[in-house]
Amino acid sequence: QQQVKQSPQSLIVQKGGISIINCAYENTAFDYFPWYQQFPGKGPALLIAIRPDVSEKKEGRFTISFNKSAKQFSLHIMDSQPGDSATYFCAATYSGAGSYQLTFGKGTKLSVIP
Amino acid sequence: DAGVTQSPTHLIKTRGQQVTLRCSPKSGHDTVSWYQQALGQGPQFIFQYYEEEERQRGNFPDRFSGHQFPNYSSELNVNALLLGDSALYLCASSRDSLGTYEQYFGPGTRLTVT
């Protein structure tokens, strides 16, 4: 059972455009939602994260929007650059798990073309 | 400040063999989690070690085992390798004393089973 569903699988955006990646979750116990960025041959790097008590969090060009009632959250990348081309993963976890184990989506491969 | 390090970078093994992967956590971190990332998929939680004990385990068979040392470094052992064990194995570290959800990943070990 996949607990975090991510879409789209791949995304092509023009340089300067907005990239939007969506995730939906099933487990209402989740209380921490990070996004990771992964370049080929590298491990995932923590990009930005949000807790369900806020609806939006912004860090530079990256913004997470969170809709608790719909059990959905999304990553917006403003002014997308070719250097943003990578695979992005949403994830979720909860303190009740004891270990804060992360449940990941399947990833979105973003290509930003000049 | 050294991040999470893993060794070796790449490994090729034959079916039925055993393999040991190593991880050193980020400075100041005391908790190590292991994840398996199949090609084109998101990472999947294998288990987590804290205070030299396995704290939680994902849906992986007993062929997967681990260990944490007093210096917080960790090993992942896989016995009786199967072709399906070919994947990128990721180590993530965190600091339990802060109750932190943030996990930082290493570059991974690419395991190929032939």
Among A29-33, A80-84, B89-93, whose mean pLDDT is lowest? A29-33
Instruction: Tell me the CA distances in angstroms from B75 to B22, B42, B59, B105, one per residue in order.
Output: 5, 21, 18, 15
Give A94's pLDDT tier (boundaries 50, 70, 90). confident
Closest CA to B21 of B70, B71, B87: B87
d(CA B34, CA A82) in angstroms, rounded, equals 31
Give B99's pLDDT tier (boundaries 50, 70, 90). low
What is the reported pLDDT for B2? 76
What is the reported pLDDT for B102? 87
Give A97's pLDDT tier (boundaries 50, 70, 90). low
d(CA B88, CA A39) in angstroms, rounded, equals 13
What is the reported pLDDT for A95? 75
Q: What is the mean pLDDT of residues B102-110?
A: 95
Q: Which helix (H) or strand (E) holds B66?
A: strand B64-68
Instruction: Tell me the CA distances in angstroms from A6 to A48, B60, B72, one per residue in order.
Output: 16, 23, 33
Nearest to B42 among A34, A89, A100 (CB): A89
Q: What is the mean pLDDT of residues B27-41?
A: 94
d(CA B94, CA B27) in angstroms, rounded, equals 10
Question: In this complex, is the C-beta atom of B108 within 8 Å of any C-beta atom belonging to chain A?
Answer: yes
What is the reported pLDDT for A2? 58
Instruction: Tell me the CA distances in angstroms from A111 to A6, A38, A83, B81, one per residue in order.
Output: 17, 13, 9, 35
Q: What is the mean pLDDT of residues B24-37?
A: 95
Q: What is the mean pLDDT of residues A79-94?
A: 96
Report pLDDT digits (tens) over B6-19.
Answer: 999 999 999 999 99
* A103 contacts on B by Cβ (under 8 Å): 45
What is the reported pLDDT for B100? 65
Greatest Cα pair distance, chain A, in angstroms, is: 44
Instruction: Tell me the CA distances in angstroms from A22 to A9, A51, B29, B60, B74, one per residue in order.
Output: 10, 16, 31, 28, 34
Within 10 Å of residue A56's Cβ, how many Cβ atoms? Answer: 11
Query: Is the per-residue pLDDT at A1 higher than 60?
Result: no
Question: In this complex, is the C-beta atom of A113 within 8 Å of any C-beta atom belonging to chain B?
Answer: no
Give A41's pLDDT tier (boundaries 50, 70, 90). confident
What is the reported pLDDT for A38? 97
Q: How far is A94 from chain B (nearest CA, A)?
A: 8
User: Residue A107: which region, alpha, beta or left (left: phi > 0; alpha: psi -120 to 50)?
Assistant: left
Name the percent of chain B lying above pLDDT 90.
89
Nearest chain A residue to B41 by CA distance is A106
Sign of the Cα pseudo-torsion (B65, B70, B74, B75, in order):
negative
